[in-house]
Chains A and B, each alone.
Chain A
Amino acid sequence: MVRGLFSVGLLAAEDGGTIHAGDGGFWADTAGIMLVLPFVAFLLILAFGKRLPNKGGEIAVGAMAINLLWASVLMIMNMTGGVLDETTFEIARIGSGIVFELGWVVDGLSIMMYFLVSFVGLLVFIYAIGYMHGDRRVDWFFAAFSLFAGAMLILVGAPNLIQLIIGWEGVGLASYFLIGFYWEDLDNVRSGNKAFLTNKVADVGLILGAILIGVSIHSFSFADLAKAATDHSTELGAVAVAGGLLLFFGAMGKSAQFPLHIWLPDAMAGPTPVSALMHAATMVTAGIYLMARTFPLFQNLAMDARTLMIAIGTITLFAIGLLALTADDIKKVLAYSTVSQLGYMMTAVAAGGYTAGVFHLFTHAFFKALLFLGAGSVIHAVHSNNMSDMGGLRKHMPTTYWTFMVGSLALAGIIPLAGFWSKDEILATLGHEGYTTVMWIAIAGAFVTAFYMTRTVALTFFGSYKGHGEPHESPRVMTAPLIGLAIPSIFVGVLNIPGVNWPGIGNFTEWIGVRVVAMGDYHPKSVDWGLAAIGLAAAVLGIVLGWMIFARDRATQAERDALEVPVLYPLLRRKYYMDDLAWGLVNTTRGPLARFVNWTNTYIIDMVPNAIGGVTKAVGGFVYGILDQRGVDGVFNGLSAITDGAGSAVRKWQTGRVQQYAAAFVAGAVILVIVFVFFI
């Protein structure tokens, strides 16, 4: 039985205007096909995958392509008129009138996620056909991959907390399969376990939060939750902060917020396409999505929860970003970068920037998937994850190089690429909401981001090749998705330039504002060019400094074969001209000016970048070595040691003698009866 919850209606927007929304007609009523198809693909691949030429990859791609068709149609409908619909099937009634339903929501936020998962998923699947070609268990890979995407679609389509939890656990399960995909190596199995268990810790929070909220408003539906929150319901208000924090704790696990971020770098053990999908559209975005989905709760009732959320988000975005500086594994650099960007999103959403956080999620998905696929292409070519085995690849792999470059610049926040606009929106929101300190930390984070991405690019694509064999550009099936992701990485940012309404389609803010209730979040009405310039300056500074430090390390080594690497060190080379000039002056005139110029050059000019770079590196090393390895990991190790010790103590009771157990059972029964009869 299908029932449409929302008819065509007018919804009040934050600025007093109205949002028109249709019910989406056929496409919304059948949107559930997107939730089902990946599971059909999963079963089909398990059944027939082995016999197909691409081991089931074509089924996975086909399912995702159909999904993308639906998502695109809905996306366009939502751009032009707004779509708001919900289809649910009643499964059971729980207790007094709480209805358990499954179904799908079609509104601005979920359409955006449908599109994101389908689009990125399709490209990653296509890429995976090339990447996984000839590998072990390819059919199982595609089956689990379809399951992964399908569980995420279940999650984002969920009309209530229960279905969200189902999808949430499904995502966790599929990620476990995929992280531990090469299970012949024990380390990979451990990584899978670590991811699964860390997420499970957080899931307890999610489940408790869901129960708390669901019982207080007698409904698990997100629509009811949003309405209760905007009506300032007293029942919900009583549990809002506790429930909000519990939900946030759940989100911390999936979205890898400090200190539960520890699983994400290890999750790199899986095949690279998995990392791409996990970091872009599925899994780690789930926590942000949950925060965005329950945003009215935090905006209207659970304001007190925000301080903690912002604090954690800020720590994540800055401290974890620094870790990327010390990593040699290119995938780990990108993983730390993802954690840092998730910190941005979480901070934004927690600070009341629904639009800013979701928009960053949207743009980040494209360029982070691009970066991971690019890294995968590099790894595919050099057969190593370590950047110390790479270098100079820009000539061998031009397509990978250019697309990776686009992704890096977008991530660094260079105008006019996607990351610039979304990061700027976050900064503007933070500034407007009064979190000035956080805003400056975020700007510093932008500097760090640009810095390590420059390092990555320099070590990977510049200098001389240090690996073995002759790297080749990846096949077309892998480079085509790179281009397919590079294009949106360049352009999607302009969809949400503050104050710009594109004729006919409006802007991103309007699209994701199509919800049951108005979100009431702040979003800038015009571009604050001053702030944008500061953010951009931080990014440029990061790039320049990164270049000076990491490209020069390369050059000292490359100096000997200077003919091989003649160009593309413009800044560095200019510095060498200055050196030459200074030495020339010293040699010819031996005057004090020459000595001064020389001294300035060697000490001051060199010192500034070296000092800043050194400090940044040291802080990164400190955060990694002390806080992460000893502090956070120490807490977890301590907890596990306690559990282990308690287990050793208690296991002695487990004698294995059934009759001792039975005796304990009888004694317990007697004691219980005595307690109940005498004391209650």
Chain B
Amino acid sequence: MTFADWISEPVNWFFLAFGLVVLFCGFRVVTAKNVVHAALYLVGALAGTAALFLLLSAEFVAWVLVLVYIGAVIVLFLFGIMITRAPTGLDEGLDSEQKALPALLSAAVFVMMAWASIDAFGTELITSTGSPTATELLGQSLLGRFVIPFEIVGFILLAALVGGITVARRDLTPAEEEERSAV
């Protein structure tokens, strides 16, 4: 399969477009000098990913990604940035000075993974494009075979909720406590 063959398929145009968006946004997430910008670039990367999921006939997951991540998690991040009073403008001290080793390591990670993928799958094609996976199938799978992991994940979320509140709650000073009990 040559590159010409590959590029002649229209679906790959979309892949190329979204993939480049994802890569660019991902790159900006880790390099942006502005904290808020980094979070917003993550939105871009996630949106691109969601679009790629649509290409891969995973509609439900794509929308979950949009709702949960772009809708909720990013908002949480922005809150975190605001509350911790991170420098919202340009900040040169945002990264550590040591960049060579991390760059080398991440390059090694990439080469290793890419090499393993190419070695294992070569140019094998994804043939199942077209019909999206029925959400009904996903639901039956989640509440059938995977019902116990599903419940456990629900429990983890609850624990994270309670834990998050407990950890982040500011303990009242004795004076405040007295004031509160007096009311």
Contact = CB atoms under 8 A, between A and B. Distances in A.
Contacts of B105: 663, 666-667, 670
A670 B109 CA distance: 6
B108 interface: yes
Contacts of A308: none
A670 B96 contact: no
Interface in A646-670: 659, 663, 666-667, 669-670
Contacts of A663: 101-102, 105
A677 interface: yes
B96 A674 contact: no
Nearest to B105: A666
Nearest to B119: A677
A666 B105 CA distance: 7
A642 interface: no
Contacts of A581: none
A662 to B, nearest CB: 9
Contacts of B83: none
A670 B112 contact: yes
B7 interface: no
Q: How would you classify the secondary structure of chain B's contact residues: helix, strand, loop or mixed?
A: helix
Contacts of A578: none
A673 interface: yes
A674 B101 contact: no
Interface string B89-120: 00000001000011001101100100010000
A677 B116 contact: yes
A670 B108 contact: yes
Contacts of B116: 673, 677
Contacts of A667: 105, 108
Contact of A674 (B102, B106, B112): B112
A663 B104 CA distance: 10
A666 B112 CA distance: 12
Contacts of A659: 96
B96 A666 contact: no
A675 to B, nearest CB: 11
A674 B101 CA distance: 18
A528 to B, nearest CB: 71
Nearest to A666: B105
A388 to B, nearest CB: 57
Most chain A CB inside 10 Å of its own CB: which residue of B101, B106, B108 = B108
Most chain A CB inside 10 Å of its own CB: which residue of B101, B102, B105 = B105
Contacts of A670: 105, 108-109, 112
B96 A673 contact: no
Contacts of B106: 666
Contacts of A669: 109
B99 to A, nearest CB: 12
A528 B33 CA distance: 95
B141 to A, nearest CB: 31
Nearest to B108: A670
B96 to A, nearest CB: 7
A666 B102 CA distance: 9
A669 B105 CA distance: 10
A669 B108 CA distance: 10
Interface in B35-68: none
A663 B108 CA distance: 12
B102 A673 contact: no
B51 to A, nearest CB: 29
Interface in B118-158: none
Contacts of A677: 116
Nearest to A667: B105
Nearest to A664: B105
A667 to B, nearest CB: 6
A474 B101 CA distance: 75
Nearest to B115: A677
A568 B109 CA distance: 89
Interface in B66-91: none
B101 A673 contact: no
B156 to A, nearest CB: 23
B102 to A, nearest CB: 7
A677 B115 CA distance: 10
Contacts of B96: 659
A666 B96 CA distance: 17
A94 B4 CA distance: 57
Nearest to B101: A663
A670 B108 CA distance: 7
A659 B101 CA distance: 11
A659 B106 CA distance: 13
A674 B102 CA distance: 18
Nearest to B102: A663
Nearest to B96: A659
Nearest to B116: A677
Contacts of B101: 663
A673 B112 CA distance: 8
Nearest to A674: B112
A677 B96 CA distance: 33
Contacts of B109: 666, 669-670
Contacts of B112: 670, 673-674
A348 to B, nearest CB: 57
A134 B136 CA distance: 74
B179 to A, nearest CB: 37
A76 B115 CA distance: 76
Nearest to A669: B109
A365 B64 CA distance: 72
Nearest to B104: A667
Contacts of A673: 112, 116
Contacts of A674: 112
A136 B108 CA distance: 63
A640 B112 CA distance: 42
Contacts of B102: 663
Interface of B: 96, 101-102, 105-106, 108-109, 112, 116
7 contacts: A663-B101, A663-B105, A667-B108, A669-B109, A670-B108, A670-B109, A677-B116
Given A667-B108, A673-B112, 14 more contacts: A663-B101, A663-B102, A663-B105, A666-B105, A666-B106, A666-B109, A667-B105, A669-B109, A670-B105, A670-B108, A670-B109, A670-B112, A674-B112, A677-B116
Interface of A: 659, 663, 666-667, 669-670, 673-674, 677
Among all A-B residue pairs, the 10 with the closest Cβ atoms: A670-B108, A666-B105, A673-B112, A670-B112, A667-B105, A670-B109, A663-B105, A663-B101, A666-B109, A663-B102
